[in-house]
């Protein structure tokens, strides 16, 4: 009994500490003061500002959010395609070649962000690619694809290898057999790879920072960084982060409830 | 004629050669060049004669070790409790621990700094460690929780039935069986802490510099060659660590067989 209490208390104390900064942002999104921690009375002004600047379309904060989403979507789509094709091929590779590509696939995962960022920065200089949208997306594809490969590869292993052969025997061309028989089996792996790639791209700071060039391209992370270094955060960031947090919270709860229902259903079937 | 299926991996192979291998080669090339493009050891030597840089390097390693240790110390019990059906039955608590990972890390860090300011705590090394534990604790809890959750609990029961005390069960059964999770947790915390730069700037008001910060400063002030040399040094350190971890694991696996 006492043990159970201590265990529960430990978990909840950790959670309270973990969420204190996020709660601080949320609380101070309802006051208009410039500095976090200075309460100047309840107001929805910051939310109003955020919504208004969204209507005008001219706010640099919202264009940073837009860039973040566009880059994450592009990076996730490209790395899912590249990673899925690669995983199909890698599954049939044997021996030394398999080892080499596995090793190479590990490089972007093991490299710390800053090394990935600096090394790609040097690459883009070397190949004379003007840094901007394209270089950032290429960089994001680089660190996202290995995770897609690792999500799809196990699905290849779980698949019955004979069904591809069966499709071919029944007259399907190679492309047809891949598209109609193999690909549908890989979809769960592709989806989780896509989600992983999307969230990692959203959260990235260091790689974007080094590969965005000097054209003034900002994602949410680099915007916050530049803003904080100038001293003082844009107050509208507080309602924005609060809204993002609530959106994610709702999304996760929906996913979780759905999964539990699915699990219950499959148990009932048994 | 049908194409062999393994050739599907070739586009990715080329992609990795260009975007993963070539960049690292370039880091090494730039590290051993002066600004005119001639071969030189000067950049590497400069690091070993630069007491500021050496100091920063030592501090980074120290902070990373301390942060990893703290995360393990706080995270392991949490993962253990979460995975134990006696104490926790809801998946929601686990999700609550993961959720902060989806909030922009820089924003969370700034809020942590704001919290310290509100409480009147001076920003310095203590706040840096505290903030880093904040940022990286979920990365330690998650892999350990995963391993503990899948672990066959009957081993623990068997050990207890055979007369082991709860302490013995924990140290001799639970901890060794969750080693894979501990190792990936350590990697997921240690690697990013060694190389972080923005977090330390925000949490200490630039009082404590980490190795990542000096790499970033050099690259941003167009001292690419010295920046590349510093990156190369970090790369070597990380390479050695990963290599030893892997070696260690292999030996463990072999001895387990």
DSSP B76-98: HHHHHHHH-TTT---HHHHHHHH
The token duo for A165 is 């052969």
Q: Tell whether A92 is within 8 A of chain B (Cβ).
A: yes
- Tell me which chain B residues have a C-beta less than 8 angstroms from the C-beta of A234: none
How close, in Å, is residue B217 to chain A by CA atoms?
A: 11
Would you state the pLDDT for residue A123?
Answer: 95
> Are the C-beta atoms of B148 and B181 separated by less than 8 Å?
yes
Distance in angstroms (rounded) separating the CA atoms of residues B194 and B197: 9
What residues contact residue A57 under an 8 Å CB cut-off, 6+ apart?
Answer: none
- Tell me which chain B residues have a C-beta less than 8 angstroms from the C-beta of A25: 107, 111
Q: Which of A36, A105, A121 sits opposite B16 (nearest CB)?
A: A105
Q: Which of B7, B19, B195 sits opposite A115 (nearest CB)?
A: B195
> Are the C-beta atoms of B81 and B93 separated by less than 8 Å?
no
The token duo for B124 is 């310095």
What residues contact residue A48 under an 8 Å CB cut-off, 6+ apart?
Answer: none
Q: Tell whether B11 is within 8 A of chain A (Cβ).
A: yes
CA distances, A154 to each of A139, B1, B250 (Å): 25, 28, 22
Find the Cα–Cα–Cα–Cα dihedral A226, A228, A232, A237, rounded to 10°: 90
| Average pLDDT value for residue range A204-212 | 92
Q: Tell whether B228 is within 8 A of chain A (Cβ).
A: yes
Burial class from Cβ neighbours inside 10 Å (0-12, 13-18, 19+) for residue A27 reads: middle
How many residue contacts between A and B have a Cβ separation below 8 Å?
Answer: 229
Would you state the pLDDT for residue A208?
Answer: 94
DSSP A238-268: HHHHHHHHHHHHHHHHHHHHHHHHHHHHHHH
What residues contact residue B50 under an 8 Å CB cut-off, 6+ apart?
Answer: none
**Tokens 């600096």, located at residue:** A118
| Average pLDDT value for residue range A224-231 | 83
**Tokens 């690091």, located at residue:** B47
- Bridge partners, B33 (sequence order): B39
Q: Tell whether B32 is within 8 A of chain A (Cβ).
A: no
Contact B112 A123 (CB under 8 A): no
Least CA distance to A139: which residue of chain B? B19
Q: Which of B4, B26, B138 sits opposite A126 (nearest CB)?
A: B26
Q: Which of B3, B82, B197 sits opposite A174 (nearest CB)?
A: B3
- Residue of B79, B102, B135, B243 best to disrupt the A interface, most CBs of A under 10 A: B102
Q: Is the pLDDT confidence value at A87 over 80? A: yes
Cα B81 from chain centroid (whole Å): 23
Contact B2 A244 (CB under 8 A): no
Q: Which of B236, B233, B231, B226 is nearest to B46 (CA)?
A: B226
User: Minimum mean pLDDT among A169-178, A192-201, B78-87: which range?
Assistant: B78-87
Using 50, 70 and 90 to split pLDDT, how confident is the model at A54?
low
Q: Which of B103, B212, B234 sits opposite A241 (nearest CB)?
A: B103
User: Is residue B153 classed as helix, strand or coil in its secondary structure?
Assistant: coil
> Are the C-beta atoms of B169 and B156 separated by less than 8 Å?
yes
How close, in Å, is residue A190 to chain B by CA atoms?
A: 16
For helices B105-119 and A2-27, angle between their N-to-C axes, nearest 10 degrees? 100
Would you state the pLDDT for residue B98?
Answer: 81
How close, in Å, is residue B255 to chain A by CA atoms?
A: 24
What residues contact residue A109 under an 8 Å CB cut-off, 6+ apart?
Answer: A143, A146, A147
Would you state the pLDDT for residue A187?
Answer: 92
| Average pLDDT value for residue range A75-93 | 94
Least CA distance to B1: which residue of chain A? A174
Write down the H helix ranges in chain B: 10-16, 22-31, 42-49, 51-83, 91-98, 105-119, 125-150, 154-161, 166-169, 175-177, 179-195, 198-204, 211-220, 224-256
CB atoms inside a 10 Å sphere around CB A35: 13
Least CA distance to B134: which residue of chain A? A18
Burial A93-106 (b: 16+ CB within 10 A, else e): beeeeeeebeebbe
Contact B112 A21 (CB under 8 A): yes
Contact A93 B21 (CB under 8 A): no
Would you state the pLDDT for residue B23?
Answer: 95
Q: Is the pLDDT confidence value at A71 over 50? A: yes
User: Is residue A37 classed as helix, strand or coil in its secondary structure?
Assistant: coil
Least CA distance to A148: which residue of chain B? B12
Q: Which of A208, A211, A164, A213 is nearest to A186 (CA)?
A: A164
Residues of chain B whose pLDDT is less than 50? Answer: 1, 251-257
Among positive and negative, which fits the CA dihedral A248, A254, A259, A264?
positive
Write down the H helix ranges in chain A: 2-27, 45-56, 60-92, 95-110, 113-126, 133-158, 162-169, 174-177, 183-203, 206-211, 220-229, 237-269
Would you state the pLDDT for residue B69?
Answer: 95
Would you state the pLDDT for residue B66?
Answer: 94
- Bridge partners, A42 (sequence order): A31
Would you state the pLDDT for residue B249?
Answer: 54
Name which residue leads in pLDDT, A214 or B171.
B171
- Residue of A86, A88, A119 best to disrupt the B interface, most CBs of B under 10 A: A119
> Are the C-beta atoms of B67 and B129 separated by less than 8 Å?
yes
Query: What length does chain A have?
Result: 270
Q: Is the pLDDT confidence value at A135 over 80? A: yes
Q: Tell whether A105 is within 8 A of chain B (Cβ).
A: yes
> Are the C-beta atoms of B219 and A118 separated by less than 8 Å?
yes
Q: Which of B2, B15, B107 sits opposite A241 (nearest CB)?
A: B107
Would you state the pLDDT for residue B248?
Answer: 56
pTM of the model: 0.86
Name the DSSP class of B221: T
- What's the ipTM? 0.86
Would you state the pLDDT for residue B88?
Answer: 73
Would you state the pLDDT for residue A127?
Answer: 93
Would you state the pLDDT for residue A86?
Answer: 95
Q: Is the pLDDT confidence value at A52 over 80? A: no
């Amino acid at each position: 009994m006492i043990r159970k209490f201590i265990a529960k208390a430990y978990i909840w104390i950790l959670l309270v500490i973990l969420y204190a900064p996020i709660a601080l942002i949320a609380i101070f999104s309802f006051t208009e003061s410039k500095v976090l921690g200075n309460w100047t009375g309840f107001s929805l002004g910051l939310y109003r500002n955020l919504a208004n600047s969204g209507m005008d379309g001219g706010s640099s904060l919202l264009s940073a959010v837009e860039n973040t989403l566009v880059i994450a979507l592009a990076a996730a789509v490209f790395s899912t395609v590249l990673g899925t094709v690669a995983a199909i091929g890698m599954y049939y590779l044997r021996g030394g070649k398999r080892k080499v590509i596995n090793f190479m696939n590990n490089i972007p995962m093991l490299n710390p962000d800053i090394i990935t960022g600096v090394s790609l920065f040097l690459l883009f200089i070397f190949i004379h690619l003007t840094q901007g949208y394209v270089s950032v997306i290429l960089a994001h594809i680089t660190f996202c694809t290995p995770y897609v490969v690792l999500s799809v590869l196990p699905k290849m292993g779980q698949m019955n290898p004979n069904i591809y052969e069966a499709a071919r025997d029944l007259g399907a061309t190679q492309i047809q057999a891949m598209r109609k028989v193999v690909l549908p089996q890989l979809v769960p792996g592709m989806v989780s790879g896509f989600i992983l790639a999307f969230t990692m791209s959203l959260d990235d700071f260091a790689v974007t920072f080094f590969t965005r060039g000097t054209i003034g391209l900002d994602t949410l992370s680099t915007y916050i960084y530049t803003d904080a270094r100038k001293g003082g955060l844009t107050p509208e960031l507080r309602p924005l982060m609060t809204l993002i947090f609530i959106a994610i919270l709702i999304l996760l709860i929906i996913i979780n409830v759905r999964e539990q229902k699915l699990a219950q259903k499959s148990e009932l079937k048994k | 004629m049908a194409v062999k299926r393994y050739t599907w991996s070739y586009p990715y192979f080329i992609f990795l050669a260009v975007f993963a291998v070539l960049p690292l080669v370039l880091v090494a090339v730039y590290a051993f060049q002066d600004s005119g493009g001639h071969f030189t050891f000067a950049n590497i030597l400069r690091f070993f004669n630069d007491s500021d840089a050496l100091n920063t390097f030592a501090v980074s390693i120290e902070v990373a070790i301390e942060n990893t240790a703290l995360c393990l110390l706080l995270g392991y019990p949490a993962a253990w409790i979460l995975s134990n059906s006696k104490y926790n039955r809801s998946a929601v608590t686990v999700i609550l621990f993961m959720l902060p990972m989806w909030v922009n890390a820089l924003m969370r860090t700034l809020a942590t700094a704001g919290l310290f300011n509100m409480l009147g705590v001076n920003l310095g090394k203590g706040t840096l460690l505290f903030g880093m534990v904040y940022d990286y604790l979920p990365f330690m809890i998650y892999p350990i929780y995963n391993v503990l959750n899948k672990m066959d609990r009957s081993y623990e029961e068997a050990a207890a039935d055979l007369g082991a005390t709860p302490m013995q069960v924990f140290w001799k059964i639970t901890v060794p069986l969750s080693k894979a999770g501990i190792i990936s947790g350590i990697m997921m915390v240690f690697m990013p802490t060694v190389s972080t730069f923005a977090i330390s700037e925000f949490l200490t008001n630039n009082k404590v510099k980490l190795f990542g910060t000096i790499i970033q400063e050099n690259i941003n002030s167009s001292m690419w060659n010295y920046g590349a040399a510093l990156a190369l040094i970090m790369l070597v350190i990380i390479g050695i660590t990963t290599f030893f971890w892997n070696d260690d694991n292999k030996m463990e696996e072999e001895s387990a067989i």
